[in-house]
Structure 1
Amino acid sequence: MTTRDYKNGRPRRQDAARSESPCGTGMASNFVPASQNSTGQVDPPPDGEIGTYEQAVAFLYSRVNYERIGHAPYTADHYRLDRMRRLLQALGHPHSAYPIVHVAGTKGKGTVCHLLAAALQASGYRTGLYTSPHLHRVEERFVVDGRSPDGSELAHLTSRVAAAARQIELAGGGRPTFFELTTAIGFLLFACRQVEVAILEVGLGGRLDSTNVCQPACCAITSISLDHQRQLGDTIAEIAEEKAGIIKPSIPVVCAARHPDAVEPIQRVAQQRGAPILTIGRDFECAWQPTDPPLDRQPEGGWARIRIDPAPPAVPRPLSPDQTLAAPHLPSTLGARGIVGVDLAESPVSSEKASPRADLVPPECWPVRLLGQHQADNVATAVTVLSVLAQGGWRIDWQQARQAISRVQPRGRLQVVGHRPLAIVDTAHNPASISAGLQALQQHFSSSLGDGRSRRLTAVFAASRDKDYRGMLRMLLSSCQHLVLTQYQQHPRALPMDRLAATVHELLADAESTLGEAAPTVHLAPTPAHAWQRAIELAESNGIVYACGSFFLAAELLPENVV
């Protein structure tokens, strides 16, 4: 693996032995675990209080969990960054022990995080990845080099975080939420495992998200569309402004938003904060070409090839002469500033018109296992972030990164899980994501989908009460031959099946003149498992089964521990 020499902000690679023990002798030398904190901020919890995996999970789920409630106002009263900062302070600032790439957006942010983590790990960096929500087990949220903590490690970490949380509560700081606690566990795990970089996916919005206490080396904002309107705003511009809240002064930003109403506020915030910004369609672009896929097996060369053209340019000069390009940073406890700057006068990107060094230019063509043209923007975003890091002194092994990215398939993101019929599970949970999913099916499998009365798409659908299920259903009704409605069983936000059925009845009545005989047959199934079985029975062997509508539906359909 590698260690870091932060002199002049440039990483240095060398072999080093690592310990896997949580917060033990293998702790990063610049991080002080809570039990050894010289300020005495946190005392270890009493023996046995959280000593098992089950106790850890019970503790976490005893806290307010907005992922399960789904309707909390997005205000500083409910999302309190000060409390998150105090929690991390009590833990010894674990989030300051390693560089961070911070990713926000409506669609694609999870995929971009997985792509970045795979590429950086392949380049030799011990890489932490924090994403949400999880499909089956809470520890899926935080992994290091692809490995989640085991039960004893999660119990140990949760015990530390619980002690810090109790201290905050006793001081009148309020009760940290489920997401704040799991974010703190992720930060702590990454410090304990001595990661050399962490990739953080924003949970909700950006400005007030618990992950937004970090000082990143680079930020990325993916596609913006309407979702979580009750919390983030009713327009694309309002939502984009919230996502832009992750932008930090002088820190490079890669923006993959294409909607003009999203691009304007993101670029404005970047300018206000003196953050260099690379925007898709202006500073970099991509082209997408699907392969000719077999329907009975996974294609060896991937589902598509993506060309990033032109190659990502050099990072623009910051807006004032005294600003510096962001580079990997030191813990705040070791210096007055968290960011170590690269003097632009000595940097390969000292001029706006300077060309990148040859060894910093990534390959143009990237094969991928990801379905859909929209994934081209995600891959281009990840590659551009890697290019920014390379120009800041990071050593990216482009060939290894290319191979790693070609193998990435985040679970539940248009994931092919069976053949004949071709069976796909998708976490799409808003109209924009459903539209992208249906377009992907058409782009890759048009001969199998058919058209009009000969359509051969069977959809399985369930949704949460607070989502735009009417908008999603409109798209499915005009695209499928059979629609199987169900209700997931393990989440309180599930929309009751009778409400789904009533909504479909209304929409079909409204669309009778346009759909006519092409209207799909509608079936009800009491559970996702029953719905899936019914869909497989309905679909022709050369047809497609597409399950969508919610992350929670995907969780109940995808087997645990199966990639």
Structure 2
Amino acid sequence: MSETPSLPDDETVVPRAAETFREVEDALLSRWPETRLEPSLERIEAFLELLGDPQRSFRMVHLTGTNGKTSTSRMVDALLRALELRTGRFTSPHVETMNERISVDGEPLDDEAFVRAFNEIAAYTHLVDEDQPHPLSFFETVVGMAYAAFADAPVDVAVVEVGMGGSWDATNVADADVAVVLPIAVDHARYLGGTTEAIAHEKAGIIKPGSTVVMAQQDPEAGAVLMARAAEVGATVAREGLEFGVVSRTPAVGGQMVSLQGLRARYDEVFLPLYGAHQAQNAAVALAVVEAFAAAGPDAQALDADLVRAAFAEVTSPARLEVVRRSPTVVLDAAHNPHGAEAVGAALEDSFTFEPLIGVLGVMGDKDAEGLLVALEPHLAHVVCTQNSSDRAMSATALAETAVEVFGEDRVTVVPRLVDAIDAAAALAEAGEAVGSSIGSGAVLVTGSVVTAGEARTLLTRGRRAPGTPREEDPS
């Protein structure tokens, strides 16, 4: 932070500093989960004021939308670092471990740095708790940690993904140079509304006076809301399909080759090591964002084409059609709503030739399980219904009841433990004749929730946190 805040000269008890990453996890998880919302920015504003308003010490790119935020954030981060800018990145939810949420220079804080970041802000959380009608939530606390860590680094620019919505999201206490609105679809309807128009009103809150808004393709209702907000606050608008977009894309080994039309120039022969048309569109958005951030005015220059190619070639996005094992191939994806599942299905048809493809699905109880299943049904020979370790997980049995209606009884298996479900699916994939396909060409897709994908990734790559260890209750 630019200056170190001091505690009031009274008898306020300063809590003992955390010594381990697990202690920090426990302290954060003891707070209100992200699924318990009280829409107000008062708590986070009071918290950041005590911390010296660290969010005012760096420039910012702010991203909202229903799907694609994390992948696009990672692409924007890579491009900005290629411009020799020091970056902070805040994304949510995490896939495997909590410190993934806060990155500096493209790398998550290690355990020691995460503990330090927590200890710097911990005492002030209790002051806010005592002064406000409701205590700081998990998410508000982690946002404060991130902004303080970015100021301490210090970073030149922070790439910040909203947790949910926009207007009332805790990240929205900073005014971004560039606001990014990725495709809006219906998700979190209980909190944000049941139509894309209603959801767009909430997400439009990140568009601030004098900023640039980069808009992915939207349906007409959502687009009209976003354009009205931009006009209201005097924001400059760049729209996918008009000012920028994907010129062409060709699937390639390990990803795809794309040509992108940016705001300043066209960039050809760009290798993107991610799969699917949706990731090509995310790349076009990321490119436009960085062009808008890096230069302004009619004399602004295009980015160096070789720099763009080098940055995109290094992009990764864990649990986004990520291949984590071979023989049989196991692919992970964090899709948790029908819009995301449709993008996954299209990418599978576009980039892979799996036969049979066996799905392992574990979803949250408040999600549109039927919509997910309907979107994936044309692409899966069989589905294994399971559940992740979250208390919010839909039971494997309940999910199977819906799956039978979509797939038919012969194409549904119930295996409640995730590790056993993956083993069962792998066996089906390897024994292709069991579902009418040739032996040896099958694969497994694990999807349905960020938590499901993250726990599968831990199991399959021998990560640190075993499934069943408590984690913050992500809304995804």
Q: Same fold judged by TM-score > 0.5?
A: yes
Partners in 2 of 1:473 and 1:387 — Cα distance?
Answer: 38
Q: Of 401, 407, 412, which aligns to 2:314?
A: 407
Contact 1:368–1:408 (Cα < 8 Å) also in 2: yes
Contact 2:251–2:350 (Cα < 8 Å) also in 1: no
Q: Of 402, 405, 409, which aligns to 1:506?
A: 405
Give the CA deviation at 1:289.
2.2
TM-score w.r.t. length of structure 1: 0.75
1:446-471 deviation per Cα after TM superposition (whole angstroms, max 9, x unaligned): x444xxxxxx2111111000000011
Q: Of 417, 421, 444, which aligns to 1:527?
A: 417
Contact 1:464–1:493 (Cα < 8 Å) also in 2: yes
The residue identity in structure 2 corresponding to 1:475 is A
Q: Are positions 1:290 and 2:250 aligned together?
A: yes
Give the CA deviation at 1:385.
0.7
Contact 2:395–2:416 (Cα < 8 Å) also in 1: no
Give the CA deviation at 1:121.
1.4
Contact 1:123–1:395 (Cα < 8 Å) also in 2: no
**1:463 matched residue in structure 2:** 363
Q: Of 360, 363, 380, which aligns to 1:480?
A: 380
Q: Of 59, 62, 74, which aligns to 1:114?
A: 74
Looking at secondary structure, tell me which structure has more strand per residue: 2
**1:17 matched residue in structure 2:** none
Q: Are positions 1:379 and 2:350 aligned together?
A: no
Give the CA deviation at 1:562.
6.4
Change (3 A) 1:172 1:481: closer
Contact 2:260–2:268 (Cα < 8 Å) also in 1: yes
The residue identity in structure 2 corresponding to 1:307 is S
Secondary structure of residue in 2 paired with 1:424? strand
* Higher Cα Rg, which structure: 1
Give the CA deviation at 1:549.
0.5
Give the CA deviation at 1:125.
1.2
Q: How many residues end up aligned between the 2 structures?
A: 450
Give the CA deviation at 1:397.
5.2
Q: CA RMSD in A?
A: 2.4
Q: How does 1:138-177 map to 2 (within 5 A)?
A: 138-177=98-137
Q: How does 1:280-429 map to 2 (within 5 A)?
A: 280-293=240-253, 299=254, 303-309=255-261, 311-313=262-264, 361=265, 363-392=267-296, 398-429=305-336
Contact 2:96–2:457 (Cα < 8 Å) also in 1: no
Contact 1:287–1:376 (Cα < 8 Å) also in 2: no
Give the CA deviation at 1:58.
1.6
**2:29 matched residue in structure 1:** 61
Structure 2: runs of 5 or more not aligned: 431-439, 465-476
Q: Are positions 1:221 and 2:181 aligned together?
A: yes
After TM superposition, what 4+ stretches of structure 1 lie above 4 angstroms from structure 2? Answer: 40-45, 393-398, 560-563
Q: How does 1:126-205 map to 2 (within 5 A)?
A: 126-205=86-165
The residue identity in structure 1 corresponding to 2:292 is V
1:481-523 deviation per Cα after TM superposition (whole angstroms, max 9, x unaligned): 121111112x1111011111222233346xxxxxxxxx86222
Secondary structure of residue in 2 paired with 1:65? coil
Q: Of 57, 63, 85, which aligns to 2:45?
A: 85
Contact 1:34–1:42 (Cα < 8 Å) also in 2: no
Give the CA deviation at 1:394.
9.9
Give the CA deviation at 1:284.
1.6
Give the CA deviation at 1:80.
1.7
**1:444 matched residue in structure 2:** 351
Give the CA deviation at 1:34.
2.4
Partners in 1 of 2:18 and 2:354 — Cα distance?
Answer: 53
Partners in 2 of 1:143 and 1:42 — Cα distance?
Answer: 35
Give the CA deviation at 1:259.
1.4
Change (3 A) 1:174 1:539: same
The residue identity in structure 2 corresponding to 1:123 is L
